[in-house]
Structure 1
Amino acid sequence: MRLLFVGDTVGKIGVEMLQEYLPKLKKDLKPQITIVNGENSTAVGRGISYKIYKQIMNAGADVITLGNHAWNNAEIVDFINDTPNLIRPANYPGPDVPGNGYTIVNVNGKMVAVINLQGLVFMDNLNNPFDTIDAIIKEIKKKVDFIFVDLHAETTSEKLAIARYLDGQISALVGTHTHVQTNDARILPGGTAFMTDAGMTGPYDGILGMQTDLILQRFITQRPVRFQVEENGAGILSGCVIDMSDRDGHAIKIKPILIDPDHPYGN
């Protein structure tokens, strides 16, 4: 089983990068399932709309994951219950959270679970991700052949800690949220593929997808500034491709993907 994962899609340029390169990646890499994090995909860089959800799906995604900005676009509550392939972090508290924290996709008779989870360190105070993932794995482990986790979290230590905790129980865990691709893709001893952060898909110029002058103003003045997504310049697409064993669901290989002006596609 080959899985393609693309990190945080940011704004208009991010969606355009998916539309341009996702079909090429799928043609060349031939993944059986493609997952895209879309939690920053609106024009303001927070949340997702139904129109953008459709654009990302039409570009080639099978599942879209979210993160801490899941609810920033209020429109999402109107459609998330009707879109099972759009998932939000599973550890939001409360009994009536809209949508689902995971989905199971039938890929040629093999069942692939995709779970969205959010960390706690320097993030919103959600339910304990360890308890949440324990409960989900207990519920689904006899129903699925592969388990992929998008862990939306701030700190590298929390991401690695959760990956180590789950090593051998899941096929892969890849981090999102910090928008910078890490150089640590590897297979953990128990057979779980891990990468601290997949990186972002969006404006290559600017700072983490936002306009540079506004970010600089915030750092220099230490006063509140309304950030705006960079809408001009080049784009970047970041992610990874993971090969998993059909025999036991463990990862065999994980390879980063990076497309930007310094790393042109095909080179």
Structure 2
Amino acid sequence: MKMLYLGDVVGRAGREAVTARLPKLREDWRLDFVVVNGENASHGMGLTGAHAKLFLDAGADVVTLGDHAFDQKDMLRFIETEPRIIRPLNYAKTAPGRGQGVFAARGGRKVLVAQALGRVFMNRAFDDPFSAVDATLRAHPRGGMVQAAIVDIHCEATSEKMGMGHFCDGRASLVVGSHTHVPTADAQILPGGTAFQSDAGMCGDYNSVIGMDRAEPLRRFVTGMGKGRFVPAEGEATLCGTYVETNDRTGAATRVAAVRLGGRLAEAHP
């Protein structure tokens, strides 16, 4: 199976890059399954139902969220009506929606998608992500109940992301990090056949501070004082993500590559 994960979409620039390029990517790369992380797609904070529909209409099979899952209040209702939107497994137990699901890929194959929030350096005391992911993977064995399994680990610390990769090795097809918006150069296949990348990067304008217009972040760094809100940068976006190919019989990854298309970063693709 050929699958693509696109990292955190930031603001209008990121939305337009995904909606413009994803339909052709699905065709040119013969993609069987696509996941998009959309938690910063609406004004840089959260995701609206209308913007979620844009990604689904453009060819995303699943849209994941993150710690900003419900910053846009209409997502509290929308997520209950759209099962293809996934919020973190270990979010508050009273949160609407769900943190995992099994979805149909091209040809009737089944793919598990789950997301968990890390706890290192995060602002809220979320439940243990490792036990949450463990229970989900045990219930959906790779190469058995599902042909592939994707885990989106949304957290600050690269060490925690790497820990999750090794924890899931042999059980997930892909463990990919999100949240920090900077693509890492460690795409690899772990010994048990799990593809891993610490952070897929963002889909947004890299002439920025992690997707935000530079002026306000720089003011706060230099003076320690804020003057306004962070707003997404609106220059040409780079599309960043992770591409993986898997064996349908075992669910193991056979190929993984970082993806960078357009914008300011040097291009990379399968």
Whether TM exceeds 0.5 here: the answer is yes
Q: Which residue of 1 aligns with 2:208?
A: 206
Contact 2:208 2:233 in 1 (8 A): no
Matched, 1:139 2:139: yes
Q: Which residue of 1 aligns with 2:104?
A: 106
Give the superposition deviation at 1:140.
2.5
Distance 1:174 1:97, change over 3 A: same
Letter in 2 for 1:24: K
Deviations 1:17-39 (A, max 9, x none): 01121122212211100110000
C-alpha distance in 2 between matches for 1:230 and 1:218: 16
Letter in 1 for 2:68: H
Identity of aligned residues (%): 38
Matches within 5 A, 1:211-250: 211-250=213-252
C-alpha distance in 1 between matches for 2:146 and 2:239: 29
Matched, 1:127 2:133: no
Relative to the length of structure 1, the TM-score reads: 0.94
C-alpha distance in 1 between matches for 2:227 and 2:188: 38
Q: Which residue of 1 aligns with 2:266?
A: 263
Q: Which residue of 2 aligns with 1:67?
A: 66
Letter in 2 for 1:66: L
Letter in 1 for 2:12: K
Matches within 5 A, 1:90-101: 90-94=89-93, 96-101=94-99
Q: Which residue of 2 aligns with 1:52?
A: 51
Give the superposition deviation at 1:158.
0.3
Give the superposition deviation at 1:97.
2.1
Letter in 2 for 1:172: L
Give the secondary-structure state (helix, strand or coil) at the position aligned to 1:5: strand
Give the superposition deviation at 1:57.
1.0
C-alpha distance in 1 between matches for 2:269 and 2:196: 24
Q: How many equivalent residue pairs?
A: 265
Matched, 1:28 2:28: yes
Give the superposition deviation at 1:166.
1.1
Distance 1:97 1:198, change over 3 A: same
Unaligned runs of 5+ in 1: none
Relative to the length of structure 2, the TM-score reads: 0.93
Give the superposition deviation at 1:92.
1.2
Give the secondary-structure state (helix, strand or coil) at the position aligned to 2:139: helix
Contact 2:220 2:226 in 1 (8 A): yes
C-alpha distance in 2 between matches for 1:264 and 1:145: 30
Give the superposition deviation at 1:63.
0.3
Contact 1:211 1:227 in 2 (8 A): no
Give the secondary-structure state (helix, strand or coil) at the position aligned to 2:175: strand
C-alpha distance in 2 between matches for 1:169 and 1:266: 25
Deviations 1:188-238 (A, max 9, x none): 011100000000001232211111111110101112454422343221110
Contact 1:101 1:116 in 2 (8 A): yes
Q: Which residue of 2 aligns with 1:159?
A: 161
C-alpha distance in 2 between matches for 1:254 and 1:266: 10
C-alpha distance in 1 between matches for 2:34 and 2:196: 17
Give 2:197's match in structure 1, choosing from 195, 198, 219.
Answer: 195
Q: Which residue of 2 aligns with 1:176?
A: 178
Q: Which residue of 2 aligns with 1:13?
A: 13
Deviations 1:34-68 (A, max 9, x none): 1100000002x111001101111112111000101
List 4+ stretches of structure 1 deviating above 3 A: 224-227, 261-267
